[in-house]
Each structure stands twice: as structure tokens, then as C-alpha cells.
Amino acid sequence: MPNRDALFMATREVFPTPLVKQVILELRFPNLFFMENRIGEFQIGIMKDFPQAALVHRRNFMVLAAILDSPEMQDAAMRQQRQSDIEKIWQFKSETGTRVEVSSQSMSLVTEKHTSYTEGGETSFRSIAETAVGQFLSFTKLPSLLRVGLRYINECPLFDRTTDTFRSCYNSILPVEKFGLESLTLANCVAVARSGNGQIQHAESLRFAQPTIAALAGHGHAAMVQPLIFDALILDLDASSENVAAERVLTTTDELHQMIAAEFETVIKAPIIEHMRKKKDEN
């Protein structure tokens, strides 16, 4: 049965040790050809809250684990990367590091210092989103959005590498019961389900605090990757709704947040709630 206390705390309590490491609100829309010539108008509108500005060139590229051992697939992937379009991203940053990122087809609000969705007045994610999204919709005059997405990426601690402890902390979709946490070196699982007028993508993976070998894009050699500070269950919850009227963007975002909070509730158990309530120097 869902832990109702966990859901209440997930939506209202400000935790000294939150699990969330990144929150992203993304709006997608048809290609706006005027964006490059008029982005300065939007910049002026949010400059008080997001004074730092930069132009970033981004090339979307995905490296699959399966290609790492195949030179032929590596070559094909590199050719695809060189041929892919470079996307211009106008980035505006607040003094606390929260970013607004705009392209001709999307607008994102990104923070790595999330404390609460609604609590905290003007510093809450909801309040910052209201300002940034309001300015953007006023600037673009968009009647509707193709997609509104809200994503929470959580880094959940593994207190030890035993199946019993893992089971006492998480109701995970990973096959820990089948293989045993003691034996697992890699585990990933993704599920997508309809929920109300939208959908939620629930992704989990195990990450262990040890150096790993990874391929560097554009180079034919391997490199050591910096390890995590601790073993973790990465819980990535991405809720979205399509064809959203402009006047319903924030209401839809609230609904997506409730979907994510409810899903988060189904995963964490009492020991993790207590961990979140402790100050970092107490854990």
C-alpha cells in the first residue's frame, strides 16, 4: 500500500537532505523562425531574475553501451554525430544557478538546487516557473504547446550492498530480488505508463562508486570517469502531457508534479524518509 505520509512529505516538507539532484521543466513547440532575431526581448523580460546570459551550441548525440566494443558501430556513430545539426541554445542563469534555456523549438527551466516545488515563496520552483514561463508565453504569444514535461532526477543512497537493506529502503522495479544486490554490477529498467491526461516515464538504475571505463565521443580511446561519492539508486521520473493550451501550462505542471510525487511515494520507504530528514552531517 502507498505510504500516505511519504506522499505528504514529498509534496510539502522541505528536507535537509533531499534526494533530488536535478529538476527540469520543458516546453516544446513548433519551430519559431523569429526566435534568433528577437531573443533579446525575452532576455530583457527576465534579466532581473536571470542576469547572466550565454549562447551555447549543442549537438544532440547518444552513445549506446552496445557500440563500445564495435569499431564499425563507433565509426557509424561518429559519422552520425558529424552530420547532425548543431542547435543554438540561449542560456540565462540566476545568481543561484537556476537556468532558462531557449531554442527555436523548446524552453527549459533547470535547477540543480531544488528544495521544494511549492514551499519557500519566491524561491520555490513553482514561483520561479511562473515568472519564467509567464514571460516566455507573453513574448512568443504561443496559443498552445506540443508538450509540457517535468522531470525529477533523484540520487538515492545505498547504505550497503545487501539485498535485505535495499528491500527495506526501496520498492524498486529493478531485478534485485532475482539476482541479488550483492551480485549486480549493472542494472537499468524503464517503464512508461499512461496517467490521467499524460504519461510518466519511470527509470531506475544502479550506480556504484568506482571508476568505470567509458568512450569519449570523437576520440578512439577510453578514459577514466570520476566516480560517484557513494553507491546510489538513480530514480528518474519524467511526466509529460501533450497539446497543452498556453493558459493551462502552469496548471498542467502542477498536475505533472503530483504524478511524480505519487510515483516517488511508491518507491521510497521509511528509512529513506528518515535519511532525508537528517542534516547532511548527521548521515
Entry pTM? 0.83
pLDDT confidence of residue 76: 62
10-residue mean pLDDT series, the chain (283 residues): 46 83 97 96 97 88 48 61 74 96 97 89 92 97 98 96 97 96 95 92 91 44 53 97 98 96 95 90 68
pLDDT of residue 195: 84
At position 262, the amino acid (one-letter code) is A
- According to the model, what pLDDT value does residue 14 have? 84
pLDDT at 121: 79
